[in-house]
Structure 1
Amino acid sequence: MGKIYTAMGLMSGTSSDGVDVSIIRSDGNQKFVVLIDKYFQYEEELTQRILKIRDKILSPDDLTKYLVEIKDLEREITLFHFKAVNKSLELSKSDVDLIGFHGQTIFHAPEKKITKQLGDGLLLSQLTKKKVIYNFRQNDLENGGQGAPLAPIFHNALANELNKKFNLGFPMNILNIGGISNVTSTTGHNNLDLEEKIYACDIGPGNCLIDEWMRRNSKKGYDKEGLVARSGKTDKLILNQALDNFTEQSNFEKSLDIKNFDIFFAKGLSLEDGAATITDFTAKLISNGMNFIHNKNNSQKSKWLVCGGGRKNKYLLESIKSNFDDINLNSIDQYELDGDFIESQAFAFLAIRSLKGMPISFPNTTRCQKSVTGGVLVENF
């Protein structure tokens, strides 16, 4: 058995509302135990600064143009993560061997081999006196990959654990509805021939369009449980036009960024009707991706487990299900896991694999040319 490490994972998603922290014990392979999951919310002013800079960065040149602003914000984000680390260590009463630090994505352009996550690994290592692994996506990009999704190797470990505990069977599909939606499909029981056992891809928007609509047209940051969408009426004409115009993910080979999508098509609709139309648009694209996975597995009856913030949007899940005659779509929370923290647990797991030089991305998950490790290790203390 490989050495067991205690690792902390730090994840801040596209909602830019705070930091998820998880501490796990794992060998970076199949064994893992979750010690603590904790969420730390950003101040509203920090969230607004992140959203503002993200909207400004439309090309690699903008990363240079706004460098001073970016550096200032990166420092503030890193200091926030430092406080979250300290509080989590205090609450868990455990020490950690290393920290997996994802950072806050503000730009992702795989075709240019550029991805930018705000988060200073050197500073975090200096402050925490811990080994820090960050910049997880760049090595994958350098090897021809899309830089995302990175959680599939952890999803595979989860699937094997869930099968052991609950006898769920394979194929098993984990649908993560974060800012962007991605799927990991696992067809095997162990780590042998791993490249053949896992397939993953980004499949469409998740919460990003719904959240943006709510932010721009109300004082809310998101549509809680899909209640606003439920109170509206979908404009079928606008929905069908938007779907006809969307060609971004025709073959499911590319990773997606929130900048691949726009809510412009719903302009002029009421808050409620716009929320309903955008939610149904999101659901249809997610369903198309799920159908793609079904066809790949030659199985309409495979198990679907949902994690990420979007699983709480009841209207969205109902809309997804309405695109299928019969589908088994369950929240991952039904199986003794917290669906809010799968990504932060994943980056703790990826940090361990990175430390051990094990691959974190594969041709069938990110389209890289060969299986590669990733992440940059710093020990700045």
Structure 2
Amino acid sequence: MSTYKVLGLMSGTSLDGLDIAYCHIWEKDGKWNFSIHETAEIDYADNMREYLKNAIHLSEEDHAQLHKDYGIWLGQQCRLFIDELGEEVDFIASHGHTSHHRPKDGVTFQLGDGQFLANTSGKQVICDFRSKDVSLKGQGAPLVPIGDKLLFHEYDFCLNLGGISNISFEKDGERIAYDIGLANMPLNYITHKMGLAYDEDGRLARSGKLDATLLQQLNNLEYYRLPYPKSTGYEWFTSKIVPLIEASKISNEDLLHTFIHHNCEQIAIAAQKHKNKGNSKSNLLATGGGALNKFFMDTLQDKLGSAFEVIVPDKTLIAYKEALVFALMGVLRLEGKTNVLKSVTGAIKDSCSGEVFFPQEV
């Protein structure tokens, strides 16, 4: 039995910062196991956050420069983390930060140049886990369900609430997953306008009132009627959601309240549609930043009803599950095993994805 000691890196669409998780991952008796030993969340400086947020609008030359600069920055953060950790690290598995995601056009791009990350950190790097799947006519997303299948199979549903919401579950012996729609992106957009990083425990949202007009506009968005496999991202948010927020005349508290109700209604529709009719009660594991929002979780349990139990794990797993899964994906890449599932992405076949970079003397 070999234990891999991996740094998993994750930067999500909500732009909260960089998540680093130092994980041990091993396989025993045909089952994968993990432990998360140390973690860090590194906030983005305002200029870095704006740079990443607007990457989609950059010229090709400026985008290439950001790709390199962000790779160096990631390497610097890893080097500092490893020095403080004082333990052996076999390699780094990096999600990067998604700047473009248009799988219909065969386009996806994760910022954070792997070679510069490797050179700066001094460690082997595995990154770019999406491109191969997109080249195989897949969505390139979501990727976390391989972790749900191998590490969290005891749950009927795994729900991740980052910038967007995605769900995964087993159906007819296959792992199915897709992006439901919104989660923290609209909430953070609203709180940032208020000069706040986020709405702690959903207190502001809880104090607001439901706006039926906005709720109907959101529930009527075409994306929700599309069949899976499907994925979405920042482009959809800026083109379809931001105009609705900006056009609304209601208070920020009412906006937050209404968006949480909308998010939870769409999650409940998805979960109820796929519930195993043979189970009297289904359990749903909720992770990602949204799981820390008490009003979000209370509303979700209410919308799902008594046939579901929403399980909110410890804060480490809530915050670092995605970084953990990218560490696992790196291990699977090194072992030449499937780490992206066609049943999830709609690709023509499963794949073993990720580009490998070794540090070079410069």
Please report the TM-score for the alignment, with normalisation by the length of structure 1: 0.86
| 1:114-163 CA-partner distances (Å, limit 9, x unpaired) | 11111010111112222111110011111121111111121223225xxx
Residue deviations 1:56-100 (CA, integer Å, cap 9, x gap) = 3xxxxxxxx612322333333223212221222123221212111
Q: Deviations over 1:318-349 (max 9, x none)?
A: 22222233120011228xx5210001111111
Is the 8 Å Cα contact of residues 135 and 376 (structure 1) preserved in structure 2? yes
**Equivalent residue runs for 1:252-263 within 5 Å:** 252-261=228-237, 262-263=241-242
> Residues 298 and 74 from structure 1, CA distance in 2 versus in 1: closer, same or farther, beyond 3 angstroms?
farther
Distance, in Å, in 2 between the alignment partners of 1:5 and 1:53 is 34
Alignment partners' CA distance in 2, 1:249 and 1:378: 40
Question: For residue 81 of structure 1, what is the amino acid of its counterpart?
Answer: L
Deviation at 1:260, TM superposition (A): 2.0
| CA–CA separation in structure 2 for the residues paired with 1:53 and 1:119 | 12
1:155 equivalent in structure 2 = 148
Answering whether residue 105 of structure 2 is matched by residue 137 of structure 1, we say no
Aligned pairs (5 A) from 1:66-85? 66-85=59-78
1:236-267 superposed Cα distances (whole Å, 9 cap, x missing partner): 12212321234445323211213223133342
Q: Which residue of 2 aligns with 1:183?
A: 167
Judged with a 3 Å threshold, the aligned counterparts in structure 2 of structure 1 residues 91 and 380 are, in CA distance, closer, same or farther, namely closer
CA shift for structure 1 position 313 = 1.3
What number of residue pairs does the alignment pair up?
351
- Give the structure 2 partner of residue 281 of structure 1: 262
2:303 aligns with 323
- In 1, Cα distance between equivalents of 2:146 and 2:87: 25
Counterpart of 1:78 in structure 2: which amino acid?
Answer: G
Greater displacement, 249-258 / 141-150: 249-258
8 Å CA contact retained: 2:110, 2:128: yes
Alpha-carbon distance in 2 for matches of 1:171, 1:31: 15
Partner of 2:191: 214
Distance of 2:281 and 2:176 partners within structure 1: 17
- Where 1:332 maps in the other structure, the secondary structure is coil
| Conserved 8 A contact 1:99-1:131 | yes
Describe the SS at the equivalent of 2:275: helix
Of all paired residues, the percent bearing the same amino acid is 27
- The CA deviation at 1:184 is 2.1
Structure-2 residue corresponding to 1:105: 98
Query: Which residue in 1 is equivalent to 2:319?
Result: 340
Determine the C-alpha separation between the residues in 1 that align with 2:63 and 2:328.
28
Residue 250 (structure 1) aligned with residue 226 (structure 2): yes
Gaps of 5+ in 1: 57-64, 161-169, 188-194
Q: Which moved more, 1:217-226 or 1:349-358?
A: 217-226
TM-score (structure 2 length as normaliser):
0.90
- d(CA) in 2 for partners of 1:88 and 1:133? 18
RMSD: 2.1
What letter corresponds to residue 316 of structure 1 in structure 2?
F
Aligned equivalent of 1:119? 112
Q: How far has the Cα of 1:197 moved from its partner? A: 4.5
What pairs up with 1:84-95 in 2 under 5 angstroms? 84-95=77-88
Looking at structure 2, the residues matched to 11 and 277 of structure 1 have their Cα atoms a distance apart, in angstroms, of 29
Structure 2 match to 1:12? 11
Aligned residue among 212, 217, 224 for 2:200: 224
* Alignment equivalent of 2:178, drawn from 194, 201, 205: 201
| 8 A Cα contact 2:144 2:322, kept in partner | yes
Of the candidates 227, 236, 244, which is equivalent to residue 212 of structure 2?
A: 236
**Gaps spanning 5+ residues in structure 2: where?**
none
Find the aligned partners of 2:242 and 2:177 in 1 and give their Cα distance: 26
Q: Match of 1:366?
A: 345
